[in-house]
Structures are given as C-alpha cells and as structure tokens.
Amino acid sequence: MEAKDVCYINQAPDEFLTGCPVCGASDSLVVHNRGALYNEPTQSMELISNMCKSCSVIYSNPRHSDSVSAVFYKEEQGKLHCNQSIDQLLLQDAKARTNIRLEFVRPYLGDVRKLLEIGGGGLNFAVTAARRHEEIQVDEIDPSFLKDDDVLPNLHLISGFMERSNLHKLRPPYDFIAAFHVLEHQNDPVKFLMFVRELLSYDGYACVEIPYPFSPFWIRKPIDGSFRTVHPLNFTRQSLRYLLKKCGLTPVVEDVSSQTMVQVIAKKGPKCNDPPSVSNSDLNRMIGYLNHWKRYSALCRVRPFTVARVYADVVWRISKGINEL
Ligand SMILES: [Zn+2]
C-alpha cells in the first residue's frame, strides 16, 4: 500500500493529552516535531513527540484518537493482509524474524497449552508456532480477518481488536500471550496490558516486542522517518519496565541484541502502583542522544555517509552506547 493511499494519516490529530499515557505525569519535554506518514520514511509531516520526565516514555501529543485509528487498522491496513488468502498464508515458510522470535520464547513454552498472539495478521508466527508445536492451541486475534475460523487443527483465528467487547470470542486463560510490534500502536497501553494480564493463567507469561529508539545512528533511519504517525508511543527500556510492572507483569528476560528492537518476556505477578521513576542523569542522557541523532540526520542530508558516519562513530564511542536506557 502506498502511503498516499492511506486516508487516516492525512487527517489532523483529533486528541490532546493532559498527561503521560503510561504514568499519568504532566511534566514532559518536546523532543522532536516531525514524523513519518504511516511507514513511509521519505514523507514526513508535523508530529510532536514528548518525553515524559517521570517514566521516560516518548509519546505523540496531539495524536489520533482510538476511533480514527480503528478505521485505519481494520479497513486500510487490513487490505495489506487481504492481498493474500488465508490458504496462501497457511502455506508460507517461516521468516527469519519468526525463527528469532520462536527461539526467544522457546524456553517458556514447555508447559504452555494455550497461546494467544495479538495483531499478527500476516500469520507467519502463528502458522509456524502451530506447526512446530502441535501440542499447543494457538489463537490469533487481528482486526483484518474477515471472520473467526479454525484454519488448522490447532490454529484458531479471531476477527477483531484486543478489547473487552471481544471477550466472548477469546478463550482464556492463556498460558502465553505474544504481541510483536503491537504495544507502540496503543493509545492506552495500561488498559491493553491489564487486559493481557487478565487473560493470562495465574503463572502465565507475556512476550512483548517493540522498536528500540537508542540504537547506533548508522543503522537508523533519519530521525524524521523513525517517529511515525501510527506509533503514538516510543519506549525506552526503562519506560517499558515501568509499564509492565505497573500492569502486574514482572519482566524476567530482556533482549536488545538485534539493536533495533527490544524483546521482553514478563511473568504474571502483583501490580506495582508506583514503580521507580527515571533518574535525572538517565533522562539527560536520553535527551542528549536524541539531540545527537537530530544532528546526525541533518549531516546525512548534506554530506551522506562519510561525515555523518564519523560523527556517529565518535558520539557513540564517547557515550559508550546507551543500550541500558
Ligand atoms: Zn510517564
């Protein structure tokens, strides 16, 4: 789908927040003012990104409301998946990324009997998991499916969003719930993860994968193309931990070895109403990194590669990377 065909993103933002969507704090700092249309990094537009000074999540404000976003995901992004029939999707081979994901979650699948994947409309993970683990019942929920359907003996499709109105179609408790690149699309991540927690069995696990903003500059797109209209949230590692703990999901393993994304597995546990806030020194390092990324992006525009790469290299070495943030 060409970005110009997507109507949703051409609408002006229709919602303004008075506090952070993760922790509720009102104190924030504007860290950037441009972002990509949908997934098209060459088409940037005004997009105000704010960093919360309390939990360090980066959030768009103003932004599109849930009702506008829902139309996009169901009717516009859904067309991406409808280009292929379910029959074709069932025949696909595992993609490299699916193999990485399955390897990451494998140690936690031992006692799993029911697994839910959220928002995997392309079906690569669900089909691969169902074929390799015939003992596991896999449910897949995605708004792009035309109907609920049993497509393999152990793979069930549920048409719809991951929300309470679809509770009658879901089949909890699930021993494992996976959401790959779904959390950054949520307007209300607390409500989303609390619902995930509710559907988990008492000792169940959740796996969350999100893009990671603090990777080396030279493997990044220019900053204008990295913030996106369809990502109302961009997580630092600390803000993701804060959110998971607040929602009663205790992180047990975290991986950023790919440099471009964070994978976390969290176990259902007690809710923590007041996880620790980010320190001032970490907050300043995060903001400093974003300022360097802006300078690097500007250098890429005027002197592609050489000068920009040297700048990135020096900055990265001085800052010793900030992958822990
Ligand atoms: Zn916050």
- The string of pLDDT tens digits covering residues 81-98 is 556 788 999 999 999 999
Question: From ligand 1's centre to the CA of 146, what distance in Å?
Answer: 36
The predicted model gives 62-70 an average pLDDT of: 90
What pLDDT is recorded for position 232? 95
Question: From ligand 1's centre to the CA of 143, what distance in Å?
Answer: 28
Residue whose tokens read 């992180």: 251
The amino acid at residue 296 is: Y
Contact 25, 75 (CB under 8 A): no
What pLDDT is recorded for position 325? 76
- Pick from 242, 298, 297: nearest CA to 266: 242
Cβ-count burial 119-152 (b if 16+ within 10 Å, e if not) = bbbbbbbbbbbbeebeebbbbbbbbbbeeeeebe
Question: Does 62 sit behind a cis peptide bond, omega within 30 degrees of 0 on the bond before it?
Answer: yes
Confidence of residue 226 (pLDDT cuts 50, 70, 90): confident
pLDDT at position 51 over 80: yes
Higher pLDDT, 70 or 252: 252
Confirm whether pTM is higher than 0.85: yes
What pLDDT is recorded for position 259? 82
Cβ-count burial 156-193 (b if 16+ within 10 Å, e if not) = bbbbebbbeebeeebeebbbbbbbbebbbbbbebeebb
Q: What is the pLDDT of residues 252-268, one digit of tens each?
A: 999 998 888 999 999 99
What pLDDT is recorded for position 267? 98
Q: What is the DSSP string of 128-181?
A: HHHHH-TTSEEEEEETT-SS-EEEETTEEEEES-SSGGGTTTS-PPEEEEEEES
Ligand 1 is a single-atom ion; what residues have CB below 5 A from it? 20, 22-23, 25, 52, 54-55
Question: From ligand 1's centre to the CA of 174, what distance in Å?
Answer: 29
- Interatomic CA distance for residues 33 and 1, integer angstroms: 25
pLDDT at position 54 over 50: yes
What pLDDT is recorded for position 42? 75
Beta-bridge partner residues of 52: 28
The predicted model gives 175-201 an average pLDDT of: 97
Question: From ligand 1's centre to the CA of 256, what distance in Å?
Answer: 22
CB atoms near residue 313 (< 10 Å): 13
247 burial (CB, 10 Å; 0-12 / 13-18 / 19+) is buried
Contact 177, 115 (CB under 8 A): yes
Question: From ligand 1's centre to the CA of 243, what distance in Å?
Answer: 9
What pLDDT is recorded for position 172? 98
The predicted model gives 223-237 an average pLDDT of: 91
pLDDT at position 38 over 80: no
Question: From ligand 1's centre to the CA of 272, what distance in Å?
Answer: 15
Higher pLDDT, 6 or 258: 258
- Interatomic CA distance for residues 211 and 65, integer angstroms: 22
Question: From ligand 1's centre to the CA of 263, what distance in Å?
Answer: 20
Q: What is the DSSP string of 247-285?
A: TTEEEEEEE-TTSSEEEEEEEE----SSPPPPPHHHHHH
> How far is C-alpha 249 from the geometric centre of its chain's CA atoms?
16
What pLDDT is recorded for position 161? 93
- Interatomic CA distance for residues 142 and 161, integer angstroms: 6
Question: Quick one: angle between helices 306-319 and 280-302, nearest 10?
Answer: 170
CA distances to 87, 90, 147, 148 from 151, rounded to whole Å, are: 8, 8, 11, 9
Contact 228, 40 (CB under 8 A): no
Question: From ligand 1's centre to the CA of 19, what distance in Å?
Answer: 8
Confidence of residue 3 (pLDDT cuts 50, 70, 90): very low
- Pick from 154, 68, 146: nearest CA to 115: 154
- Pick from 55, 304, 302, 297: nearest CA to 315: 297
pLDDT at position 307 over 80: no
> How far is C-alpha 213 from the geometric centre of its chain's CA atoms?
11
What pLDDT is recorded for position 12? 84
CB atoms near residue 69 (< 10 Å): 21
Give the chain's domains with CATH numbers: 86-268 (3.40.50.150)
Question: From ligand 1's centre to the CA of 188, what distance in Å?
Answer: 12
Question: From ligand 1's centre to the CA of 159, what distance in Å?
Answer: 32
What pLDDT is recorded for position 1? 44
Q: What is the pLDDT of residues 272-282, one digit of tens each?
A: 888 889 999 99
Question: From ligand 1's centre to the CA of 23, what distance in Å?
Answer: 4
Beta-bridge partner residues of 86: none
Question: From ligand 1's centre to the CA of 22, what distance in Å?
Answer: 5
pLDDT at position 206 over 80: yes
What pLDDT is recorded for position 308? 77
Question: From ligand 1's centre to the CA of 56, what distance in Å?
Answer: 6
Give the chain's mean pLDDT. 89
Confidence of residue 302 (pLDDT cuts 50, 70, 90): confident
Question: From ligand 1's centre to the CA of 52, what distance in Å?
Answer: 5
